[in-house]
Amino acid sequence: MTDAAPARESLFEHDLASLTVACEAIGLPRRTGGQIMKWVYEKGVVDFALMSDLGKEPRTRLQERFSTLQGTVIRHQVASDATQKLLIEWGEPAAKPADSALRLTETHSDKQTETVLIPTDDRQTACVSSQIGCPVGCKFCASGIGGLDGNLSAGRIVEQVWRLGQLPGVGRVSNVVFMGMGEPLANFEQVTQAIRTINAPWGLGIGARKITVSTVGLPAAIRKLCTLEIPVTLALSLHAPFDELRRSIIPWAEYSTIEELLDACQEWFVKTGREITLEYILLGGVNDRFEHAEELARLARSMRANVNLIRYNEVKGLPFLRPTNEDVRLFQETLRERGANSHIRASRGRDIAAACGQLRHEAQHETQQGSAPARSESLDSRA
């Protein structure tokens, strides 16, 4: 009986330096790492057999050493407004790269995450997940139903952006927001490693100011993010201006007060010079009243912050309601009258369950009811 072949390393887990070392370790020239990165990130090719500037024998060695796509797209939905959403199922992790800084965090087989492509006239925005499920447990959000099942590795985060860039008509992803499933700063090392690849000229080449990390609020992690050499944009998911109300809809809010969060955000502004975005989901009859707007305006004025108002997208089985257009308009007017800069985010993809965690939640519900979700293999054929 022969021993099983060793698991292959995931190509997306590598940066240029570690890939160069790995290629040298199997007897290939130093330039091979750069050639591979160009094929993967510039040309969108992950099949070694198609990398025509590499010889046949080197391509065989690479195929034996590395894997490429680790996920399987089990649903691909397109909304009437051209928003696209992928539900990705992740198998067992590939082998860990030799460089310990790039090791995989724990992942689980047959686990699903979502990623969304949001097109507008001047940008193609990828909304990516950082965890399988979510530990925060916001009462209004589908992502946290069932809790946290594991962290995504840096490579699996990058793979989401790469996949969205290969969708027909997209061309190139221009912006990335960590606003999908999970709390990014609770998976700090993998998220920041992914950001380096997303930003790097040998990687996806997306500018730092076009990368946004959205957090529910971990003061220590926000301060740690200040040391990241890539000046990304920071968004704080506030969702309530009073501590008691915030704790009632965001369980993790019991670990830090709004004052402590804003102090950390102020340190972010001082050290990076980047303004904070306060994300605020409007829940009908819960946090969308005059007194909420008045206090939110006071908090926004206390620091350099913009307020991003988001209409709630209803989730099947949860009791929260979408506010009326009139209530949203009055809320924004109250903010502006009190000197707070605010914008209303356009709702996208409502007809494809585009809110965070909705598609996964619906697919799991269907499976429990005995009807498995339909699979889409269109993107996996590129591997």
Query: In this predicted structure, what is the pLDDT of residue 365?
Result: 45
Indicate whether 47 belongs to any domain. yes
My answer on whether 234 and 294 are in the same domain is yes
My answer on whether 36 and 130 are in the same domain is no
My answer on whether 102 and 39 are in the same domain is no
Domain count of the chain?
A: 2
Rounded distance between C-alpha atoms, residue 69 and residue 88, angstroms: 11
Rounded distance between C-alpha atoms, residue 50 and residue 351, angstroms: 38
Rounded distance between C-alpha atoms, residue 278 and residue 342, angstroms: 9
Given the structure tokens 């007809």, which residue do they identify? 351
Query: In this predicted structure, what is the pLDDT of residue 137?
Result: 86
Name the maximum alpha-carbon separation found in the chain. 77
My answer on whether 240 and 166 are in the same domain is yes
Indicate whether 305 belongs to any domain. yes
More reliable by pLDDT, 345 or 93: 345
Rounded distance between C-alpha atoms, residue 189 and residue 92, angstroms: 20
My answer on whether 230 and 115 are in the same domain is yes
Question: What CATH number does residue 234 fall under?
Answer: 3.20.20.70
Closest CA to 359 of 84, 130, 70: 84
Indicate whether 3 belongs to any domain. no
Whether 104 has a pLDDT exceeding 70, the answer reads: no
My answer on whether 295 and 328 are in the same domain is yes
**Structure-token pair, residue 151:** 């962290």
More reliable by pLDDT, 36 or 134: 36
pLDDT one-digit tens code per residue, 165-185: 999 989 899 999 999 999 999
My answer on whether 58 and 88 are in the same domain is no
Rounded distance between C-alpha atoms, residue 217 and residue 207, angstroms: 24
Region of 174 (left: φ > 0; alpha: ψ -120 to 50; beta: rest) is alpha
Answer for the pair 236, 217: CB distance below 8 angstroms, yes or no.
yes
My answer on whether 282 and 220 are in the same domain is yes
Query: What percentage of the chain reaches a pLDDT higher than 90?
Result: 72
Beta strands in 218-376, from DSSP E residues, in sequence order: 233-237, 276-282, 305-311, 342-345
Query: In this predicted structure, what is the pLDDT of residue 111?
Result: 87
Rounded distance between C-alpha atoms, residue 19 and residue 99, angstroms: 9
Answer for the pair 117, 125: CB distance below 8 angstroms, yes or no.
yes
My answer on whether 157 and 27 are in the same domain is no
List Cβ neighbours of 91 (8 Å cut-off, separation of 6 or more): 70, 71, 72, 109, 110
Question: What CATH number does residue 30 fall under?
Answer: 1.10.150.530
My answer on whether 30 and 87 are in the same domain is no
Torsion from C-alpha of 40, 91, 21, 197, nearest 10 degrees: 50
My answer on whether 196 and 230 are in the same domain is yes
pLDDT one-digit tens code per residue, 1-19: 455 555 788 999 999 999 9
pLDDT one-digit tens code per residue, 205-236: 999 999 999 999 899 999 999 999 999 999 99
Q: What residues are labeled active site? A: 114, 356
pLDDT one-digit tens code per residue, 324-379: 999 999 999 999 999 999 999 877 656 655 455 455 445 444 444 454 443 333 33
Number of helices followed by number of strands (H, E) in the chain: 11, 14
Whether 309 has a pLDDT exceeding 70, the answer reads: yes
Mean pLDDT, to the nearest integer, of 130-153? 87
SS3 119: strand
Indicate whether 2 belongs to any domain. no
pLDDT one-digit tens code per residue, 228-282: 999 999 999 999 999 999 999 999 999 999 999 999 999 999 999 999 999 999 9
Whether 103 has a pLDDT exceeding 80, the answer reads: no
Could you tell me the residue range of the domain that residue 22 belongs to? 9-66
